[in-house]
């Protein structure tokens, strides 16, 4: 450890280790063992793999989900003289080749990649020849299928570690419950007794408060509460909201002569997001109304230590998320007010989001039958063949969202062992000429077969040229990769701007899929297992939401209840001690809220409007999505997103609406339901039924304002 301490001072310009850094480094460097580090954001997790990278013989490979985070860290390391690099889609061909040259020569010590790169056979073939001294897995809670942020690509990291004989693995996360920590340790064979290092994410300068707000469907009461709070407690502040539209709406309402407010969400252009972050970090009293996307960058969490208020306008979906979000407050050690405004109607909104990702059983069955059919028709239903899937079209045909589709394929790959994801390809390339002179002399003057094939298949629109690379390869009898390499060379030279579309995922087959006709029962048996797994995930997500509400309305010290969720209450709060500053402690040990929710009567008129808006009766969950305003590939195809019926039942109870939708589909009979019997509005015989109809004006509980209907 003496050499590690020397490196800490000389290379990282730090005088001493802090928190759990030293025992973690001893576990990695001295004992040569794997570890799980559960440390809050800003506590120095990165040093726990950056420093060993300089001391270990071989490459330290870092798996990180955020390109911006990777870039920030690599830039910071290069300024310190640490040999680090990243591999991502933003690199030019020359930069990519230079990085691999440094890796193969042993000059590079740290390499950052996204988990999706483990699907690329070129990367996998090259990295297999490299000695990996340490595998660091950032955001490792994503490996737990029952955690709050599961990503299927993370399950493949454990397989990668095993296949590449990674002796040391360091998993890092800011939050992990005992059960999630157990999942991580099981995936990477980490000793649960000696290999887990945990620091509580709770800090005593965070003053937690929950306030109940009654009958606030339009959000006006909460807006006024937030306005008063920010006036009384000035300083940099974050107001978290659930939806992108609401960040803009609430920011407009809060803007006045006394508050400086902007909004932030992932749907904004990148330059606008960056400008908002820089404005926030530079201002003394900036207020940002944001989705959870705000704060997921190292520059914000490191440089903005003086956040005085973290306000949740809507309840968070999980306690893990809440803990991370309030943890962005008060990093300077000064008090930070963390206020959760709890409106009973928001529970319905959040549950609907949880329910919206799960497709119907019939959708899963028809999806799998189509995949099996395509394998047979394309003659790739055999070992070592490659199956190509247009996932956009598949999702559209079966009304399955992208995130859910990735889970379906992950189960076929990891649970059933039928296939393995390999490098995806794009069918259509679009280019726009940036440097006409260089393009004319360089590209137009290129007489190679690949260049000529591109020009023969380039179709000009108003600004962009479209090139069907698959057609160019097929008709010219040229390798697709050679054509792609040629057009990418022009882009790397700066002659053109290049865009890719119509992605096709590729899967190397390990064993044949069941025959869609001869073995239909086997197809449906697999589909049913997959569906049940997804339904269990939906139930778990709803339970996580319930745990947030249970914590918020319990007459127990909020801080103590929070740490108990993560299994470190004893460390933070010995027996008979509390935080003394939360809303429960200052209310004499009583919960400061009166959370209650009485489901509204079923809105028959609104339901009639939903049925009139779409005559489709083959999928009850599709009808439910229309009723609740939950977007999906099919709602977009049917152009329902702007219909008045879309989201008209947003305040209703999911189970009741779904039950009525199931009854309507059953009433329509088997001709309108079942696998591979999709029927669009255009296919319906009745012109009047297909006509978009504005539903009858609603009365009662579901007409209480527009706020809860804006999804």
Tokens for 70? 């990777």
Residue 132: per-residue pLDDT:
96
Backbone angles phi, psi at 697, to 5 degrees: -55, 135
Q: Cβ neighbours of residue 676 under 8 Å, at least 6 residues apart?
A: 366, 369, 370
Euclidean distance between the first and the last CA atom of the chain, given in angstroms as a whole number? 54
Q: Residue 346: its pLDDT value, please?
A: 84
Nearest to 308 by CA among 333, 340, 274, 289: 333
Q: Which residues contact 490 (CB under 8 A, 6 or more apart)?
A: 431, 439, 442, 443, 496, 498
Phi/psi of residue 214, nearest 5 degrees: -95, 145
- Dihedral sign, CA of 620, 621, 627, 632? negative
Q: Are 206 and 580 in contact (CB under 8 A)?
A: no
- Please, are residues 279 and 306 in contact by the beta-carbon 8 Å criterion? no
Question: Residue 147: pLDDT above 80?
Answer: no
Q: What is the DSSP string of 290-340?
A: E-TTTT-SHHHHHH-----EEEESS--S-HHHHHHHHTTS-TTSS-EEEEE
pLDDT higher than 80, residue 49:
yes
Q: Which segment of 29-43, 430-444, 561-575, 674-688 scores lowest on mean pLDDT?
A: 674-688
| Class of residue 68 by CB neighbours under 10 A (exposed 0-12, middle 13-18, buried 19+) | middle
Instruction: Compute φ and ψ for 686, nearest 5 degrees.
Output: -85, 115
Q: How far apart are CA 616 and CA 362, in angstroms?
A: 14
Residue 320 pLDDT > 60, yes or no?
Answer: yes
The CA-atom distances, in angstroms, between 346 and each of 458, 632, 644, 710 are 50, 21, 21, 12
Tell me if 141 sits within 8 A of 320, measured CB to CB.
yes
**Tokens matching residue 549:** 């509400």
The DSSP result for 104-138, as a single string, is HHT---EEEE-GGGGG-HHHHHHHTTS-EEEEEET
Q: Which domains does the chain have, with CATH numbers?
A: 2-198 (3.40.50.300), 206-351+570-587 (3.40.50.300), 374-515 (no CATH), 604-709 (no CATH)
pLDDT at 270 over 70: yes
Distance CA 430, CA 501 (A): 8
Contact 130, 57 (CB under 8 A): no
Taking 60 as the threshold, does the pLDDT of residue 39 lie above it?
yes
Which residue has 């300077």 as its token pair? 332
Q: What is the mean pLDDT of residues 314-328?
A: 91
Summarised one tens digit per residue, pLDDT across range 579-628 is: 999 999 999 988 877 666 677 889 999 999 999 999 889 899 999 999 98
Average pLDDT estimate for 10-30? 91
* Cβ atoms of 205 and 171 closer than 8 Å: no
Question: Does the structure show a pLDDT above 90 at 298?
Answer: no
Contacts 24+ apart (CB under 8 A), 204-207: 204/559, 204/579, 205/330, 205/333, 205/334, 205/335, 205/336, 206/326, 206/327, 206/329, 206/330, 206/335, 206/336, 206/338, 206/559, 207/335, 207/336, 207/337, 207/338, 207/581, 207/582
- Lowest model confidence (mean pLDDT) among 28-37, 324-333, 652-661, 688-697: 688-697
Q: What is the CB neighbour count within 10 angstroms for residue 482?
A: 14
């Amino acid at each position: 450890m003496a050499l590690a301490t020397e490196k800490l001072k000389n290379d990282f310009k730090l005088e001493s280790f802090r928190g759990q850094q030293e025992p973690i480094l001893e576990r990695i460097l001295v004992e040569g063992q794997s570890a799980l580090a559960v440390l809050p954001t800003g506590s120095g997790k990165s040093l726990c793999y950056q420093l060993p990278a300089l001391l270990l013989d071989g490459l330290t490979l870092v798996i990180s989900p955020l390109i911006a985070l990777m870039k920030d860290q690599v830039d910071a390391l290069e300024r310190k003289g640490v040999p680090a690099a990243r591999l991502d889609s933003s690199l030019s061909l020359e930069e990519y080749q230079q990085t691999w040259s440094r890796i193969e020569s042993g000059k590079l010590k740290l390499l950052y990649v996204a988990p999706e790169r483990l699907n690329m056979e070129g990367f996998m073939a090259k990295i297999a020849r490299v000695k990996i001294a340490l595998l660091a897995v950032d955001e490792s809670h994503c490996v737990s299928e029952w955690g709050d942020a599961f990503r299927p690509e993370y399950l493949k990291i454990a397989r990668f570690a095993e296949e590449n004989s990674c002796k040391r693995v360091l998993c890092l996360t800011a939050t992990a419950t005992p059960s999630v920590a157990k999942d991580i340790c099981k995936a990477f064979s980490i000793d649960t007794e000696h290999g887990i290092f945990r620091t509580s994410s709770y800090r005593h300068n965070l003053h937690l408060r929950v306030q109940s707000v009654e009958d606030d469907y339009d959000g006006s009461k909460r807006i006024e509460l937030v306005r008063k709070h920010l006036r009384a407690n000035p300083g940099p502040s974050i107001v978290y909201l659930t939806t992108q539209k609401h960040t803009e709406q609430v920011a407009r309402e809060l803007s006045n002569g006394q508050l400086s407010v902007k909004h932030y969400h992932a749907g904004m252009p990148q330059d606008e997001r960056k400008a908002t972050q820089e404005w926030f970090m530079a201002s003394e009293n900036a207020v940002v109304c944001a989705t959870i996307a705000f704060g997921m960058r190292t520059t914000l969490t490191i440089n903005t230590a003086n956040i005085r208020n973290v306000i949740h306008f809507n309840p968070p979906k999980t306690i893990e998320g809440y803990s991370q979000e309030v943890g962005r407050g008060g990093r300077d050690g000064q008090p930070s007010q963390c206020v959760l405004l709890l409106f009973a109607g928001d529970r319905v909104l959040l549950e609907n989001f949880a329910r919206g990702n799960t497709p119907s059983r019939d959708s899963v069955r028809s999806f799998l039958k189509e995949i099996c059919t395509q394998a047979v028709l394309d003659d790739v239903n055999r070992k070592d063949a490659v199956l190509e899937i247009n996932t956009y079209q598949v999702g559209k045909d079966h009304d399955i969202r992208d995130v859910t589709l990735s889970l379906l394929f992950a189960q076929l790959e990891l649970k059933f062992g039928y296939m393995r994801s390999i490098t995806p390809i794009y069918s259509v390339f679009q280019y726009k000429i940036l440097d006409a002179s260089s393009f004319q002399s360089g590209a137009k003057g290129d007489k190679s077969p690949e260049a000529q094939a591109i020009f023969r298949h380039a179709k000009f629109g108003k600004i962009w040229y479209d090139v069907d690379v698959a057609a160019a390869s097929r008709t010219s009898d040229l390798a697709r990769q050679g054509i792609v390499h040629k057009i990418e060379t022009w882009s790397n030279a700066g002659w053109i701007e290049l865009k890719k579309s119509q992605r096709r995922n590729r899967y190397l087959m390990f064993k044949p899929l069941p025959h869609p006709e001869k073995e239909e029962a086997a197809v449906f048996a697999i589909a049913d297992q997959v569906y049940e797994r997804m339904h269990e995930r939906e139930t778990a997500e709803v339970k996580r939401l319930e745990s947030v509400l249970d914590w918020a309305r319990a007459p127990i010290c909020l801080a103590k209840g929070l740490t108990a969720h993560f299994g470190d209450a004893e460390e933070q709060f010995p027996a008979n001690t509390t935080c003394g500053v939360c809303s429960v402690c200052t209310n004499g040990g009583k919960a400061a809220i009166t959370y209650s929710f009485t489901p509204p009567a079923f809105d028959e008129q609104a339901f009639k409007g939903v049925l009139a808006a779409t005559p489709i009766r083959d999928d009850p969950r599709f009808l439910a999505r229309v009723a609740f305003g939950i977007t999906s590939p099919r709602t977009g195809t049917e152009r329902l997103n702007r219909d008045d019926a879309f989201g008209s039942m947003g305040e209703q109870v999911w189970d009741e609406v779904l039950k009525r939708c199931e009854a309507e589909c059953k009433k329509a009979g088997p001709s309108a339901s079942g696998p591979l019997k999709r029927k669009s509005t255009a296919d319906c015989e009745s012109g009047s039924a297909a006509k978009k109809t504005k539903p009858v004006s609603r009365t009662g509980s579901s007409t209480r304002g527009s706020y809860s209907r804006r999804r």
